[in-house]
Structure 1
Amino acid sequence: MHEKIMRNLILLFLVLLNFPAFSQSLSYIYPKPNTDKHSIQTPIVLRFDRAIDPSKISLSIKILGEKSGDHSFDVRISDDNRTVSIRTSRPFALDEDVIVSINGEKFSFRTSKISPQEQKELFAKYFLPSYPEISKIFANAPKETDDIPLDSIPSDFPKIIINSVRNPAPGYIYLANFGSGVDRSYLMILNNDGTPVKYRKVPLPGFDFKMQPNGLLTNARIITSHIPQGWGWAEAYMEVMDGNLKVIDTLQCKGGYIADFHDFKMLPNGHYLLISYDPQPVDMSQIVPNGNPNAIVLGSIVQELDADKNVVFQWRSWDYIPITDTYAPLDGIALDPVHINAVELDYDGNLLISSRHLSEITKISRETGNIIWRLGGKRNQFTFINEHPENAPTYFSYQHDIRRLPNGNITLYDNGVQHNPQYSRAVEYKLDEQNLKAQLVWEYRNNPDVFGETMGSTQRLPNGNTVIGWGGVSTGHIRIVTEVNPQGEVEFELSFPKGVSFQTTSYCAYRYPYPTNLPEAVVSFENISSLVQNQNDSLYFRNDTTDTGIIINFTELND
């Protein structure tokens, strides 16, 4: 840590020696130059195309707001030794141009017209009067209760109905009930007979309850909620829990943003991926016929924090996605055109994001922020093979839970809002990213159909089975969790009682082991590529200074 602080100080005062122009040495700049609507607390992030050696490279930085004047700042070098995160000591002014000068080279961006507090007030003004039950529920949320011994399960614990058990995969079901009675929400780990192995009562509905790759458990802890025109988003923070569901850490977005509940990832290199929503005033009369000149439009944010919780990457829909790419209505006063609900670290280090209201999966470069390709939606670049022609052109729609499989394929939960008739399914595509082809290689559509209009998840298990969390199923054939084998045969099925308001659904559902079995070591592609340079190189794993005996030897290296 002392060495990192010294490097930060060196960066503040020295002049760039190796590279004549920062545009040739920086692969990523945030905020994206010449963009607007940035938070007055926005971080500034610079990523070099190679590791920084403080003895050979340094920066002269000046930050000037047209209204707020010169800004002092703090500099951090992230653990990749390439990324510089800059935080100003005070906020910028609203609606001002900010010029950042790096060794004489300049770029600029413009701040938002409203502050983070004003964003909350605008949403409360337009939405809460229309949804008075939301104000009542979140104002009177009960206190959290400690875990109760399993021989005295509380009387308000949700009733679990096991519809089918045949030959499910090893492990336990992880889910959280969701409904109108927030005083009866539980995070729960269940046996195949529906009895709880572990549970925790939470004061507001549990969202995105799951196990991370390192074996820790996480849950999105709701702070407040806004439900514009029936679309859900909520301000939250992320709880990190041990196997006993005890909170050991919390995560929150930085730079003036509040985390959203939809997805949260802990990465193998110790970094974190979070999602946020960004309400901004937009004159929609200049964009669409009958647009409201006073509209409040939600942008979507993806933010990466390093192990020290500094922002090292940020991506905004404002900078890359036209509002008119949406399938959502654009003639109201409160609009949510993108609605990111999942983010996945791809096998090549880039990111896959799911945007519900675009009916699109987007691959973005984690190195530059640029879009690599767009799958589905109005700007689809792929040819679909073996799909159902009656669903064209939106073969999947309003989807959730994009995931990359070890075999290179992707899975997602197709909510099917744009199908006619509407139905939901789990799908797997084989992608040819060079020739932009997407081949449907597996799907599960229940018989009779299940339609989860909102929420939902798809998880491929090590034995080839697939766990489907059906999300917001409110009519027709109601199921909460279905596990099927590769042939589409049901191995396990679970539901909640019909007509019980406090347990209508679960945001997602997964099968994991319990106890959580923390891995002995986690190695990412980035770790390997930075440490292994030659054939027959080896990685040795130590616990502090003690050898663990774990060695990985690389006998062959491919690009």
Structure 2
Amino acid sequence: MSTSGPPTLQPQPPRPPAPRRPRRRAAAPALGIAVALVAGGLAAWELLTPPHDPEPPQVKSFHSRQDLDPDALTVMTPARGVAPGYVFLAVKRGPGQDGPMIVDDRGQPVWFHPVGGDKTATAVQVQRYRGRPVLIWWEGNTHLGHGHGEYVVMDARYREIARVRSVGTKLPDHHEFQLTPRGTALMPVYVERRADLRGVGQGRDGTIVESRIQEVDVATGRLLWEWRSADHLPVTEGMTGPKENKPHDYFHINSIDETPGGDLIVSARNMHAIYKIDRPSGRIAWKLGGKASDFEMGPGTRFAFQHDARLQPDGTLTLFDNQATPAKADESRGLQLRLDTAAMRATLVREWRHPERLLAGAECNLQVLPNGNVFVSWGPKERVSEFSRDGRLLFDLALPEGADTYQAFRFPWRGRPTTRPAVAAHRRAERRTTVWASWNGATHVRRWRVLAGDERDELRPIGRPVRRSGFETAVRVRTDARLVAVRAIGRDGRPLRTSRAIRPTGA
């Protein structure tokens, strides 16, 4: 086993703003007349369209941060009885920019970080590194269900601490990343490997996609431990057959959870099974589900194509039961099982289903929250939901049509960016000036105050502070001063930080 790798903890230079993705414009209704395409696009089509109720925007845009175009989210069920904290997700394949995002219970962005280019992001969440909360996510490219990228670790001031890669020729997959109290990270890697596939109807000299687990030291990049699926589990236990002219992805690891004793709980989508792996030997301690389950599966406990298996503090096991693709049931569900390791029997504790009977053929996760609620991403079904312990829908958030987020989470978070607040302003006649204020990632802003003056050292407050009203707050004032700026006010009423001073556009 190799025990060396490239360092992952290194200073990161500032990055240029991500390129703006062209926005998708809804097609105009047929009018029985021709519309000429002119330079600048279809900007004039609205003049020819009869009045109608406008569709909600699919992309957010901001005067003060014109480099940011996150996808717009729609609240379908307003939050009630939800756990404290913000929603963490990474929308992809939508009309806006791809990237990790934090939103509030109104679906309004709190922080957004576009990844740029052809990259996408997943797994944005809060974990702990060296005793402190950090923000982590994966970014890279995906192909045929496998990811090729790297994991990013940021502190609460949105400063990059590390970029973590697997050791060897393959880049870490996007399904899972778990920081440990040892300062290490557990992550999956997919690697092609020669294998005898006669047991699944193929030749002796076949190729599989092997699932591996690597534990890597975050600070040094050194490989500390590796587990390989084909060394412990035969391809004949797979539940999906080989695909023509493609390596056989018989296992397909999609979650890794470390138990208090240091063993691992691993979900294998294409085995329809969950495994407990002994550390450090790597042997299989038990198998749950699939063709060779060590547990008797009680009524309602069978799952298929599952994701996100987690051992809970009460000893139960939670997972997202996709039941597709191909469909094995009419809908997906969140699942909680009790495992009797003496009698080797699994029993159903509870399940969570969406009222719209969603069947998600890929992705998805289920997070148990400290108050007993559960938070669920429905992946390609474009929904993110929070349920009570007994299954009541407490919150439901919709993504733009055609978009998805692999996972979604809820966490408390205190973001204190090192950057200054952003400002934009436009002046109309009679000194009427609109000032827009934002501060990407700041969670401690309660109000905004406008400053104005003819010189930077002469800025003075005008009007009263205005309550923050989302990612960007518009403040209307009357001033003919040459310069304006905004100052963030904290929850305790104290000033936090002031933007740069700018000249308003317009009159």
**TM-score, normalised by the number of residues in structure 2:** 0.66
Whole-angstrom distance in 2 between the partners of 1:352 and 1:493: 29
1:419 offset after TM fit, Å? 5.6
1:459 offset after TM fit, Å? 0.4
Higher relative contact order (CA 8 A, sep 6+): 2
Aligned residue identity for 1:438: A
Aligned residue identity for 2:217: D
Quick check: 1:292–1:331 contact (8 Å CA) kept in 2?
A: no
497, 516, 523: which is aligned to 2:400?
497
Secondary structure of residue in 1 paired with 2:391: coil
Aligned residue identity for 1:209: V
Secondary structure of residue in 1 paired with 2:113: strand
Residue 410 in structure 1 maps to residue 317 in structure 2: yes
Aligned residue identity for 2:406: Y
1:403 offset after TM fit, Å? 1.2
Matches within 5 A, 1:357-372: 357-372=270-285
Secondary structure of residue in 2 paired with 1:318: helix
Instruction: Report Cα offsets for 1:410-466 as digits up to 9, x if no partner.
Output: 111111126643311111111122321212111111223111110001001111110
Identity %: 28
368, 374, 384: which is aligned to 2:287?
374
Residue aligning to 2:477: none
Residue 219 in structure 1 maps to residue 137 in structure 2: yes
Whole-angstrom distance in 1 between the partners of 2:237 and 2:289: 11
Aligned residue identity for 1:355: A
Secondary structure of residue in 2 paired with 1:262: coil
Query: Which structure: larger Rg?
Result: 2
Aligned residue identity for 2:209: L
Residue aligning to 2:163: 250
Residue aligning to 2:120: 205
Whole-angstrom distance in 1 between the partners of 2:255 and 2:404: 19
Instruction: Report Cα offsets for 1:66-119 as digits up to 9, x if no partner.
Output: xxxxxxxxxxxxxxxxxxx5x59xxxxxxxxxxxxxxxxxxxxxxxxxxxxxxx
Matches within 5 A, 1:332-347: 332-334=244-246, 335-347=248-260
Matches within 5 A, 1:384-533: 384-387=297-300, 395-417=302-324, 420-473=328-381, 479-498=382-401, 501=402, 504-515=403-414
Secondary structure of residue in 1 paired with 2:251: coil
Residue aligning to 1:528: none
Whole-angstrom distance in 1 between the partners of 2:157 and 2:19: 14
1:293 offset after TM fit, Å? 6.3
Whole-angstrom distance in 1 between the partners of 2:397 and 2:153: 26
Count of aligned residue pairs for this structure pair = 358
Instruction: Report Cα offsets for 1:24-62 as digits up to 9, x if no partner.
Output: xxxxxxxxxxxxxxxxxx41xxxxxxxxxxxxxxxxxxx
Residue aligning to 1:323: 235
Whole-angstrom distance in 2 between the partners of 1:260 and 1:196: 27
Instruction: Report Cα offsets for 1:353-411 as digits up to 9, x if no partner.
Output: 100000111000112111100001011111123426xxxxxx11111111121212111
Structure 2 gaps of 5+ residues are: 6-15, 21-60, 417-507
Whole-angstrom distance in 2 between the partners of 1:432 and 1:516: 42
Instruction: Report Cα offsets for 1:311-331 as digits up to 9, x if no partner.
Output: 221100110111121112225
Distance 1:411 1:153, change over 3 A: farther
Quick check: 1:162–1:493 contact (8 Å CA) kept in 2?
A: yes
Whole-angstrom distance in 2 between the partners of 1:380 and 1:440: 16
Distance 1:435 1:463, change over 3 A: same
Residue aligning to 1:306: 217
Quick check: 1:243–1:516 contact (8 Å CA) kept in 2?
A: yes
Aligned residue identity for 1:225: T
Whole-angstrom distance in 2 between the partners of 1:404 and 1:295: 35
1:282 offset after TM fit, Å? 3.8
Matches within 5 A, 1:27-106: 42-43=1-2, 85=3
Quick check: 2:138–2:149 contact (8 Å CA) kept in 1?
A: yes
1:292 offset after TM fit, Å? 5.2
Secondary structure of residue in 2 paired with 1:357: helix
Distance 1:244 1:177, change over 3 A: farther
Aligned residue identity for 1:172: Y
Aligned residue identity for 1:426: G
Whole-angstrom distance in 2 between the partners of 1:492 and 1:178: 21
Residue aligning to 1:161: 74
Whole-angstrom distance in 2 between the partners of 1:432 and 1:510: 29
Aligned residue identity for 1:329: G
- Calculate the aligned-residue CA RMSD, in Å: 2.6
1:298 offset after TM fit, Å? 0.2
Matches within 5 A, 1:115-264: 144=18, 151-152=64-65, 156-165=69-78, 166-179=80-93, 184-203=97-116, 204-213=119-128, 214-222=132-140, 224-227=141-144, 232-264=145-177
Residue aligning to 1:391: none
Secondary structure of residue in 1 paired with 2:270: helix
1:236 offset after TM fit, Å? 1.3
1:225 offset after TM fit, Å? 3.3
Quick check: 1:411–1:427 contact (8 Å CA) kept in 2?
A: yes
Distance 1:497 1:470, change over 3 A: same
Secondary structure of residue in 1 paired with 2:236: helix
Quick check: 1:150–1:196 contact (8 Å CA) kept in 2?
A: no
**Richer in helix (by share):** 1
Whole-angstrom distance in 1 between the partners of 2:231 and 2:68: 50
Instruction: Report Cα offsets for 1:280-311 as digits up to 9, x if no partner.
Output: 24453x3333x256643200000112354322
